[in-house]
């Protein structure tokens, strides 16, 4: 029976030879990542120096053709770069988030470690430190990035197990029960937006109405368009009362805002039946001199007619929600610095006021409200998931049942 081959990325016994000039050559048989055994050699002024140079060469061995192969000795910074640059099919927003977290959290914590040096304990301690300094959200995203990085390392044979899977860092104090607006609260909040001069000035009431009518995300609402899809069918069909959610507004690094021709996730593509009040709202906008623009996008900037930034809209919503019916801040949405020295434009710091009766509401509350209304009306989990663009509740249903227009019953329930 023949001798078993060397494992990939390993070497045999080191042999030494003294050259005529007195230097020492160290050589070894090394099994490269294409399965071939090659003779690797290095020369040094002494046996120890030659052996060190040989070990360094074996550690950094690459597969033929110059394609780098991940090994247990590869630095985590190199693994992080390889993972970020790989084609994952991420949305622009996801790629931007992961790239930021890898640069600001993962590399500083793990970059100089070799892959083999990262254990579950190392991961747990680093994630706990990230959670303490940057918050549980950043730590959770860092954990997702690390898990994906080690999945790549496992595929390349650098490690056998994913240490992130067994990391025990506690990244949050537990989830709070989801809270949605009641029917009475929904009506009151819509009234507050409609009667707010600031909200009307920046065209927020219709956006809020649209999110409460459809359960869409802010980016999806800002990508609402009157054009046609790739099949020549209208994206927004007011006669039929349907909207094809097939895009979202994102900020592309170096290019600015753009309409990404796909939603946040694959499951986000859907066709929504619209409530009557939502259709009427859009028809009113079409005949309103103030709201009518030449742009194909519905909710454009009132000043420039350009795309609106989801982050800016979210910030405007936050300040208005904090300001509504709040005596503590006097309806401003923020409080003064402790010494009362805040002056706009004078380098002061705005402190968000969280004492108002609407400060608990976020833009995501609108999606929860839609889901709650539909659930209370007896719609199935599948219908609710289709309305919101979620992949769950069932992988089987997602794979084996086609997605058609969401039940018109959803539009009747959300009407007011």
The CATH code of the domain that includes 266 is 1.10.443
Q: How confident is the model at residue 338 (pLDDT cuts 50, 70, 90)?
A: low
Q: Are residues 125 and 192 in the same domain?
A: no
Give the range with max mean pLDDT: 14-18, 58-62, 352-356.
Answer: 14-18
Q: Are residues 200 and 143 in the same domain?
A: no
Name the average pLDDT for the chain: 83
Write out the residue range of the structural domain in which residue 45 sits.
10-60
Q: Which two tokens stand for residue 86?
A: 């790989």
Average pLDDT over residues 61-84: 73
Distance (Å, rounded) from C-alpha 147 to C-alpha 123? 10
Q: What is the pLDDT of residue 173?
A: 53
Q: Higher confidence at residue 174 or residue 93?
A: 93
Count of domains forming the chain = 3
Q: How confident is the model at residue 402 (pLDDT cuts 50, 70, 90)?
A: very low
> Could you tell me the pTM of the whole model?
0.65
Q: Are residues 211 and 247 in the same domain?
A: yes
Cβ(44)–Cβ(21) under 8 Å?
no
Instruction: With a cut of 50, say whether residue 404 has pLDDT above it.
Output: no
232 sits in the region (left: phi over 0; alpha: psi -120 to 50; else beta) called: left
Q: How confident is the model at residue 80 (pLDDT cuts 50, 70, 90)?
A: very high
Q: What is the pLDDT of residue 303?
A: 76
Average pLDDT over residues 316-344: 75
pLDDT tens per residue across span 360-379: 998 888 988 888 888 888 88
Cβ(412)–Cβ(275) under 8 Å?
yes
Q: How confident is the model at residue 399 (pLDDT cuts 50, 70, 90)?
A: very low
Instruction: With a cut of 70, say whether residue 149 has pLDDT above it.
Output: yes
Q: Are residues 222 and 336 in the same domain?
A: yes
Last residue of a domain, one of 108, 137, 156: 156
Q: Which two tokens stand for residue 238?
A: 């007011």
Instruction: With a cut of 50, say whether residue 345 has pLDDT above it.
Output: no
Give the range with max mean pLDDT: 57-66, 92-101, 120-129, 338-347.
Answer: 120-129
Q: Are residues 50 and 188 in the same domain?
A: no
Q: How confident is the model at residue 405 (pLDDT cuts 50, 70, 90)?
A: low
Q: Are residues 54 and 197 in the same domain?
A: no
For residue 354, give every residue at least 6 positions away whose Cβ sits within 8 Å of its Cβ, in sequence order, or none. 322
Q: Are residues 114 and 191 in the same domain?
A: no
């Amino acid at each position: 029976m023949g001798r078993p081959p060397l494992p990939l990325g390993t070497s045999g016994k080191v042999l030494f030879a003294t050259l005529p000039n007195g230097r020492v050559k160290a050589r070894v048989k090394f099994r490269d990542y294409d399965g071939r055994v090659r003779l690797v050699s290095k020369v040094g002024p002494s046996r120890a120096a030659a052996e060190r140079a040989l070990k360094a060469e074996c550690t950094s061995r690459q597969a033929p053709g110059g394609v780098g192969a991940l090994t247990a000795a590869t630095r985590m910074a190199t693994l992080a770069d390889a993972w970020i640059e790989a084609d994952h099919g991420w949305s622009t927003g996801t790629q931007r988030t992961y790239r930021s977290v890898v640069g600001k959290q993962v590399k500083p914590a793990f970059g100089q470690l070799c892959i083999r040096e990262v254990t579950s304990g190392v991961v747990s301690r680093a994630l706990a430190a990230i959670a303490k300094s940057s918050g549980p959200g950043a730590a959770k995203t860092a954990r997702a990035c690390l898990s994906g990085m080690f999945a790549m390392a496992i595929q390349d044979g650098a490690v056998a197990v994913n240490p992130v899977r067994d990391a025990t860092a506690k990244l949050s104090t537990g989830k709070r029960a989801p809270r949605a607006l009641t029917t009475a609260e929904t009506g009151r909040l819509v009234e507050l937006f409609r009667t707010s001069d600031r909200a009307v000035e920046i065209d927020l009431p219709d956006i809020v109405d649209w999110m409460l009518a459809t359960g869409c995300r802010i980016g999806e609402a800002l990508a609402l368009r009157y054009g046609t899809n790739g099949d020549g069918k209208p994206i927004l069909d007011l006669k039929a009362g349907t909207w094809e959610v097939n895009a979202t507004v994102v900020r592309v690094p170096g290019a600015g805002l753009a309409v990404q021709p796909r939603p946040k996730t694959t499951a986000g593509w859907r066709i929504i039946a619209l409530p009557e009040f939502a259709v009427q709202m859009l028809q009113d906008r079409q005949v309103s001199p103030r709201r009518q623009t030449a742009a194909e996008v519905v909710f454009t900037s009132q000043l420039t007619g350009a795309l609106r930034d989801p982050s800016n809209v979210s910030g405007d919503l936050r300040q208005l929600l904090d300001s509504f019916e709040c005596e503590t801040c006097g309806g401003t949405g923020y409080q003064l610095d402790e010494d009362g020295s805040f002056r706009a434009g004078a380098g002061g710091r705005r402190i968000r006021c969280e004492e108002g009766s609407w400060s608990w509401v976020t833009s995501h509350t609108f999606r929860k409200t839609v889901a709650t209304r539909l659930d209370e009306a007896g719609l199935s989990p599948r219908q609710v998931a289709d309305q919101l663009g979620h992949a769950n509740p069932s992988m089987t249903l997602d794979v084996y049942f086609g997605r058609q227009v969401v039940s018109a019953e959803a539009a009747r329930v959300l009407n007011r």
